[in-house]
Amino acid sequence: MSISYPDLSERLLWTGWVLLYNYCVFSTPARPPDMNSLETRSTFALSSIFALRMLGLFMIIPVFSVAGQQYHGATPALIGLAVGIYGLSQAFLQIPFSLLADRFSRKPLIVLGLALFAIGGAIAALSDSIYGVIIGRAIAGAGAVSAVVMALLSDVTREEQRSKAMAFMGMSIGVSFMIAFSLGPWLTEQVGISGLFWVTTIMGTSAMLMLLLVPKVTRHYRVAPQGYLTQLKQVLGMADLNRLHVSIFMLHLLLTAMFVFIPSQLIEYAGIPLAHHGWVYLPLLLISLFFAFPSIILAEKYRQMRGIFITAVVAIVLGLIVMALGYDNKYGLLCGLALFFIAFNVMEALLPSWLSKSAPIQSKSTAMGVNSSFQFLGAFFGGALGGILLSMHQIGLGWAILAGIAIIWLLVTFQLNQPRYLSSIVVTLPDTEKMDDWTSLLLAVHGIEEVVVMPEKQVAYIKVDKQQITDTERQELSRLLNQELAI
């Protein structure tokens, strides 16, 4: 099986993606402002885990509709199922994994999810029938630990640094998405489709090794654990969380529909061959990252998360309107895409951070699991919608429909409330064998929401709501920590 890809363009484009990937995922986290070494290392490791999983997932998408025809029993419907079954498995199993992660250690669950991802890739690589590939992809998707990874990142970062950490993770996801669409065709030409599945297995195994860089965490909450159904019902009953779930659904529905809808227009109206579309996405991604990261810093520093979030949705609406009016013009398409990419990267970083602030402390992973389920369902329905829009053969109307969906989303976001902002105190663990008693005394102080203990590093993060702390409680907290606190 051979997929043509121009040699010179291929090498130059791949070099550009590698440099960008190394900068955003590896180099940049090495020197984030105000993050301590533990946060830096954990952000690097968990962002890399996310990036490796996303690469393994998305490299298949641009080639399987062609390369999948070589399998015994392959039909267009079964090829589509082989691509989409991963997302459906993820959507259905995010919540069970997340409920478990709120009760047990998160790291073993992440290892289990990555092992399923690697095993599923191996099964698909060894298969010579389309049914074997479908089974392998379903097993790979069963490792639904995206929300667990994000919850662990929120555990090991202070509240004030969380948006930065989530921004790095969001950028790693965006960069991985773009790299995969350029790397997939090239790797398939080199090693074949079965070799591409083996690459996903290697990536899953490598991601497990990255987890060694993340410290062991013990969490202590003010609120007693709830039953599984009670906890899920509480999360689903929170209006602001539901608006965030709708937001991630809409974001990925629009993204996936756009990527199904726009390639043919870049070929027809912009005169850009399919093999060169990476040249379009690379500079647009660079521009979007240039604007996105400062926006995240401003949102956190000046507590304007709601305002920047709504502005990003407005940018998506404007980008889609520009493409609806100027789809038959190269510059109209590129300007609309630029607006969309800038807003997309801002929201990819903002949404997890906002979710972790708004979710109940003891149900953080569950809330993120529900959110991830909505994300994968959005991608699934976005693909279907993109196919419908293509079949309509009315490009302007298609973009107008997407813009209309974005306007409905904008109306939903106006009802969002500003999230609560907590502060973090980093303290050295006391020399005591009664750690549970010490954390219980801390949690008894009104305004202390959570204590995250990392025994390997001999430190603890104490998460405080400053608006709830009185002078008396501040003095009691200072006594327990044996240090004067200015909060």
How far apart are the C-alpha atoms of 148 and 369, rounded to whole Å?
7
Q: Nearest to residue 462, comparing CAs of 444, 433, 37, 304?
A: 444
Is residue 161 within 8 A of residue 34, CB to CB? The reply is yes
pLDDT value at 26 more than 70? no
Which range has highest mean pLDDT (25-29, 137-141, 350-354, 355-359)? Answer: 137-141
Backbone phi, psi, residue 218, to 5°: -120, 125
- Sign of the CA dihedral 185, 186, 189, 194? negative
**Between the CA atoms of 403, 406, 408 and 412, what dihedral angle is there, to the nearest 10 degrees?**
-160
Output the pLDDT for position 455. Answer: 74
Q: What is the pLDDT of residue 238?
A: 82
Number of H helices, E strands in the chain: 18, 4
298: burial class by Cβ within 10 Å (0-12, 13-18, 19+)?
middle
Instruction: Pick the range with the lowest mean pLDDT from 67-81, 151-165, 218-232.
Output: 218-232
Residue 425 has pLDDT above 80, yes or no: no
3-state helix, strand, coil in the chain (%, to 5): 75, 5, 20
Select the more confidently predicted residue: 431 or 18: 431
Count CB atoms within 10 A of the CB of residue 224.
Answer: 6
Higher pLDDT, 475 or 122: 122
Question: Residue 409 — very low, low, confident or very high, per pLDDT cuts 50/70/90?
Answer: very high
**Phi, psi (rounded to 5 degrees) for 459:** -135, 160
Q: What is the mean pLDDT of residues 213-229?
A: 66
| 5 pLDDT more than 50 | no
Residue 180 · residue 61 · CB < 8 Å: yes
Amino acid at 214: V
Q: How confident is the model at residue 161 (pLDDT cuts 50, 70, 90)?
A: confident
Confidence check: pLDDT of 326 > 70 = yes
What average pLDDT does the chain have?
79
Residue type, 27: S
pLDDT band at 29 (very low <50, low <70, confident <90, very high): very low
pLDDT at 120: 95
Taking residues 22-39, report their average pLDDT.
57
Band (361; pLDDT cuts 50, 70, 90): low
pLDDT at residue 426 in the model: 76
Choose among 423, 43, 356: nearest CA to 215.
43
Which of the residue ranges 65-74, 322-331, 424-433 would you say has the lowest mean pLDDT?
424-433
Q: What is the pLDDT of residue 141?
A: 87
Q: Averaging pLDDT over each range in 164-168, 235-239, 337-341, 437-441, which range is the top one?
A: 337-341
Residues in CB range of 5: below 8 A, 6 or more apart = 185, 186, 189, 275
At 23 the pLDDT is 46
Q: Is the pLDDT of residue 100 over 90?
A: no
**Mean pLDDT of all residues in 340-360:** 82
Q: Are 269 and 330 in contact (CB under 8 A)?
A: yes
pLDDT for residue 121 is more than 90: yes
Mean pLDDT of 273-288: 72
- What's the whole-number mean pLDDT along residues 394-402? 90
Question: For residue 4, what pLDDT is reported?
Answer: 42
CB 366 within 8 A of CB 106: no
Q: Which domains does the chain have, with CATH numbers?
A: 7-413 (1.20.1250.20), 425-481 (3.30.70.100)
pLDDT for residue 344:
87
